[in-house]
Structure 1
Amino acid sequence: MKSKFNTSRFLNVLLVLFGFIVLLIFTIKILNKMYIKGVSTNDYIFLTFFITLIIFAIKHLNDIKYIVVQKEKIRFFSILRPFGKDLYYSEYIGIFQTTETGFSGSYSVFYLINHQRITRFKIMGLYYSNIDEIIKKIPLTNIKNTLSMKKYLYLLFTGKIRIEK
């Protein structure tokens, strides 16, 4: 079972990738100017702003994964893992599902939970047209848990929380 990207999200991904390249070019130009002409306060402000945007763009692009669900493992490819990585089911105890809300509306998000009961791998339903099929093919049990607002925000921004029994 392979993931199928939502076609409307593909343009979003291309736009973020284009923005990432533009930000990288501006950051290199600012660094070059700082090296040749010296440093001003405006340079620091722009550089900090562009580096922050680059970090957010990388985080966003890393959430977009090409997933292949196999019998004993999940193999995924992303911008930071172009050669893929294998996640074996024996290393995980279940799947935790939650809902996130963004500019595009609400969508399901699934996390694989390891033996220490910590969320480790995120699958965002926003990018896949066959997310239900992907989750059904993963032979792990669903773990039910209600998150407090503090834990939900921590999960949203860091991607890792401990799921209590």
Structure 2
Amino acid sequence: MISIHVSEIIERPVGEVFAFAGCADNDSLWRTGLSARWPIVSGPPVANMLIQETVTYLGNRFTMQGVIETVEADARVTFRSTRATMPMWGQRLFEPVGNHTYFTYELTLEPTGTYGLLPAQTADLFTRLIREDVGTLKQLLESRNETGHEQVAVMELAMA
């Protein structure tokens, strides 16, 4: 079994980060190799929401069907696989730090096949992947903030 924990401070309010990163509809915008993802029902996460995703990583294709188990608004989303190439479960945690968010992505998986024969390398590969994904999420959300300020400045200039 491999457990991965990656955290990052995102310079956006917790409600905004939760609305974006808690919703499976947005995962394709920040998760590497996600070629298909669908909640059976689209929209914000709710307990017992069924999800399915296909991720391609290092030439291997992983398919997971799962369920969102719990949702605590602006705080936590937990999930687990119900049918997967590699059984997994995890959570996304959202903690306010002033006007910013301490975001943590936790994933526990049971490697199978070749991945099961090389647990240390598998842990390193998936940790690197999740670290890159969380970095992309941070950059995406923080750049939306900068873009928003630029648009406001342009609008204010146009009105003057």
Shorter-chain TM-score category? under 0.3
With normalisation by structure 1, the TM-score equals 0.25
Bigger Rg, structure 1 or 2: 1
More strand by share: 2
With normalisation by structure 2, the TM-score equals 0.26
